[in-house]
């Protein structure tokens, strides 16, 4: 699916045009179909969308024929990711621009394409790409402070990739004292942060624009539920501990 998203990202260059998936098949091979939609009501984006497709098709066909594209706006960095996947599991990528023959990239063509683009200067649009999605992250509260001058809390997220700063929206700032206390921070209470998650080009979380943070309060467990009367196998506590220290337990 990242292959599909990167192709769409190479297409996006006109303000007001967005490509929307209208069909997808998860059978092998993966196939998707998209159409251009306007971000402004009543605006026809047909001409702009067609220009986008023609421009990208021209650039990719040049690469398929062994020539580096001359277009200064061509996003080489994204293109190299697309070609690299053809050498690491994807196998073949075919793009039908609905004008002329579909553009097809095999591992052999992709190897040549990467070599062509390696020596091509970075274009204006070859900046590090980021993405965002609406979601949630669980972790433990670690700190309260600011992140780029915005009130924020820092949590240690579940996946073990370090700390994540959660910027608090204005509404959440006013409610935060009801969501968590400084005592919760000192005791590293578990929380779930919801909002817009910003990812870098490697897929790691940069920060979260949080609109809600809630404590995860575990249900109390009684001693009777976890007590095991047969844990020592009939031995007294003292005898069990002596054997444990001597290394003869179970011998």
The tens digit of pLDDT for each residue in 4-15 reads 888 888 876 555
* pLDDT class of 250 with cuts at 50, 70, 90: low
Q: Mention every residue, 6+ apart, whose C-beta is less than 8 A from residue 147.
A: 154, 165, 167, 207
Q: Homologous superfamily of 131-215 in CATH?
A: Nucleic acid-binding proteins (2.40.50.140)
Q: Is the pLDDT of residue 125 over 50?
A: no
Judge whether 141 and 153 are in contact, CB under 8 Å: yes
| Helix (H/G/I), strand (E/B), else coil: 61 | helix
Kindly give the pairing relationship between strand 150-157 and strand 163-168: antiparallel
Report the pLDDT value the prediction gives residue 181, as an integer from 0 to 100. 67
Q: Mention every residue, 6+ apart, whose C-beta is less than 8 A from residue 216.
A: 138, 189, 190, 191, 192
What is the rounded average pLDDT of the residues 37-66?
83
Beta bridge partners, 151, equal: 146
Rounded to two decimals, the pTM is 0.46
Tokens found for residue 63: 């690469």
Domain ranges across the chain = 2-118, 131-215, 224-251
Q: Is the pLDDT of residue 223 over 70?
A: yes
- State the first-to-last Cα distance of the chain, in angstroms, to the nearest integer: 55
Helix axes 46-64, 107-118, angle to 10 degrees: 100
Judge whether 168 and 152 are in contact, CB under 8 Å: yes
Phi/psi of residue 137, nearest 5 degrees: -135, 135
> For residue 216, how far is the Cα from the chain centroid?
24
What is the rounded average pLDDT of the residues 227-246?
80
* pLDDT class of 158 with cuts at 50, 70, 90: low
Strand (E) or helix (H) holding 246: helix 237-246
């Amino acid at each position: 699916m990242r292959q599909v998203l990167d192709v769409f990202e190479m297409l996006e260059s006109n303000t007001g045009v967005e490509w929307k998936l209208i069909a997808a098949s998860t059978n092998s091979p993966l196939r998707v179909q998209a159409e251009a939609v306007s971000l402004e009501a009543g605006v026809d984006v047909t001409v702009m969308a067609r220009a986008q497709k023609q421009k990208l098709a021209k650039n990719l066909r040049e690469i398929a024929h062994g020539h580096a594209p001359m277009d200064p706006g061509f996003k080489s960095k994204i293109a190299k990711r697309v070609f690299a996947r053809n050498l690491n599991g994807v196998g073949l990528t075919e793009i039908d621009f609905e004008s002329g023959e579909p553009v097809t990239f095999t591992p052999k063509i992709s190897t040549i394409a990467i070599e062509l683009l390696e020596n091509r200067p970075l274009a204006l649009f070859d900046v590090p790409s980021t993405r965002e999605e609406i979601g949630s992250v669980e972790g433990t509260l670690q700190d309260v402070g600011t992140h780029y001058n915005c009130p924020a809390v820092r949590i240690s997220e579940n996946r073990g990739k370090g700390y994540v700063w959660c910027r608090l929206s204005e509404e959440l700032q006013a409610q935060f004292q009801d969501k968590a206390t400084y005592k919760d921070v000192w005791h590293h209470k578990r929380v779930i942060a919801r909002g817009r998650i910003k990812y870098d080009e490697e897929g790691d979380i940069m920060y979260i624009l949080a609109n809600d943070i809630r404590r995860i309060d575990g249900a109390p467990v009684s001693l009777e539920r976890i007590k095991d009367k047969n844990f020592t196998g009939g031995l007294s506590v003292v005898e069990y501990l002596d054997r444990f220290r001597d290394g003869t337990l179970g011998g």
